[in-house]
Amino acid sequence: MRISRKDVRLVRSGTWLATFAFALAMILQPAQGQQTPEQSRGVVVENMDPAVKPGDDFFRYCNGAWLKRTEIPADRGSVGAFLTLRDKSDQRVKELVEGAAKSNAAPGTNTRKIADLFHSYMDEAGIEAKGMAPLEPHLKAIEGIQNKKALAFALGKTLRADVDALNNTNFHTANLFGLWVAPDFNDSEHYAAYLMQGGLQLPDREYYTGQSDRMKNLRTAYQSHVAAMLKLAGFSEPAARAAKIVALEHAIAEKHLTLAENEDVHKANNPWKRTEFAAKAPGLDWAEYFRGAGLEKQENFIVWQPGAFASESGLVASEPLETWRDFLAYHVIEAYGGVLPKAFADERFAFFGKTLQGTTEQRPRWSRAVTVVNVWLGDAVGQLYAKQFFPPESKARVEKMVANIEEAFRKRIDALTWMDPATKAEAKAKLSTLYVGIGYTEHWLDYSAYEIKPDDIFGNLWRGNLFVYTRETARLGKPVDRHEWTMTPQTVNAVNLPLQNALSFPAAILEPPFFDANAPDAFNYGAIGAVIGHEVSHTFDAEGSAFDSKGRVRNWWTPADLAHFEASTQKLVEQYDKYKPFPDLALNGKQTIDENIADVAGIAASYDAYHAALGGNKAPEQAGFSGDQQFFLAYGQTRASKPREGTLRQQVMTDPHSPSEYRTDTVRNIDAWYPAFQVTEGEKLYLKPGERVRIW
Ligand SMILES: [Zn+2]
pLDDT at 234 > cutoff 70: yes
Mean pLDDT of the chain: 91
Res 313: pLDDT: 98
551 CA to middle of ligand 1, Å?
A: 18
The percent of residues in the chain predicted with pLDDT above 90, rounded, is 79
Res 553: pLDDT: 79
pTM of the shown model: 0.82
User: 3-state class of 477 per DSSP?
Assistant: coil
Q: Which of these ranges, 26-35, 326-335, 659-668, has the smallest mean pLDDT?
A: 26-35
Cis bond upstream, residue 282 (ω within 30):
no
Span 629-639, pLDDT tens digits: 999 999 999 99
Span 183-202, pLDDT tens digits: 999 898 999 999 999 999 99
633 CA to middle of ligand 1, Å?
A: 20
What's the pLDDT band for 265 if we cut at 50, 70, 90?
confident
319 CA to middle of ligand 1, Å?
A: 40
133 CA to middle of ligand 1, Å?
A: 44
538 CA to middle of ligand 1, Å?
A: 7
530 CA to middle of ligand 1, Å?
A: 11
310 CA to middle of ligand 1, Å?
A: 31
496 CA to middle of ligand 1, Å?
A: 7
380 CA to middle of ligand 1, Å?
A: 27
76 or 121, which is more confident: 121
534 CA to middle of ligand 1, Å?
A: 6
Average pLDDT in the 291-317 region? Answer: 98
Q: Which of these ranges, 37-41, 311-315, 629-633, has the smallest mean pLDDT?
A: 37-41
Report the candidate in 552, 530, 526, 548 with the shortest Cα–Cα distance to residue 539.
548
Res 7: pLDDT: 38
pLDDT at 118 > cutoff 80: yes
592 CA to middle of ligand 1, Å?
A: 10
Res 15: pLDDT: 26
Residue 401 belongs to what H/E stretch? helix 392-415
Res 12: pLDDT: 28
298 CA to middle of ligand 1, Å?
A: 33
Residue 178 belongs to what H/E stretch? strand 177-184
Span 374-397, pLDDT tens digits: 999 999 999 999 999 999 999 999
683 CA to middle of ligand 1, Å?
A: 28
**Looking at residue 582, what DSSP letter applies?**
B
CB-based contact 602:532 (threshold 8 Å): yes
Cα–Cα dist 326/256, whole Å: 21
Helices (H), 484-626: 521-524, 530-538, 559-577, 593-614
Average pLDDT in the 16-25 region? Answer: 30
pLDDT at 5 > cutoff 50: no
- For the sheet containing 177-184, what is the strand order? 177-184, 187-197, 300-303, 271-273
407 CA to middle of ligand 1, Å?
A: 20
Average pLDDT in the 557-579 region? Answer: 90
454 CA to middle of ligand 1, Å?
A: 39
pLDDT at 330 > cutoff 70: yes
674 CA to middle of ligand 1, Å?
A: 25
594 CA to middle of ligand 1, Å?
A: 7
Residues sharing a CB contact under 8 Å with residue 16, sequence separation 6 or more, in sequence order: 2, 3, 25, 162, 163, 164, 168, 169, 170, 172
80 CA to middle of ligand 1, Å?
A: 18
The percent of residues in the chain predicted with pLDDT above 70, rounded, is 94
416 CA to middle of ligand 1, Å?
A: 22
Average pLDDT in the 573-577 region? Answer: 96
Cα–Cα dist 355/689, whole Å: 45
1 CA to middle of ligand 1, Å?
A: 10
Strands 435-439 and 300-303 come out as unpaired
pLDDT at 296 > cutoff 80: yes
Task: Give how far the C-alpha of residue 82 lies from the chain's centroid of Cα atoms, to the nearest Å.
Answer: 13
What's the pLDDT band for 31 if we cut at 50, 70, 90?
very low
Span 336-379, pLDDT tens digits: 999 999 999 999 999 999 999 888 888 899 999 999 999 999 99
Q: At what angle do helices 81-103 and 365-376 cross, to 10 degrees?
A: 80
**Looking at residue 303, what DSSP letter applies?**
E
527 CA to middle of ligand 1, Å?
A: 15
Helices (H), 57-165: 58-69, 81-103, 110-122, 124-130, 136-143, 148-157
Dihedral of CA atoms 664, 665, 669, 674 in degrees, nearest 10, equals 100
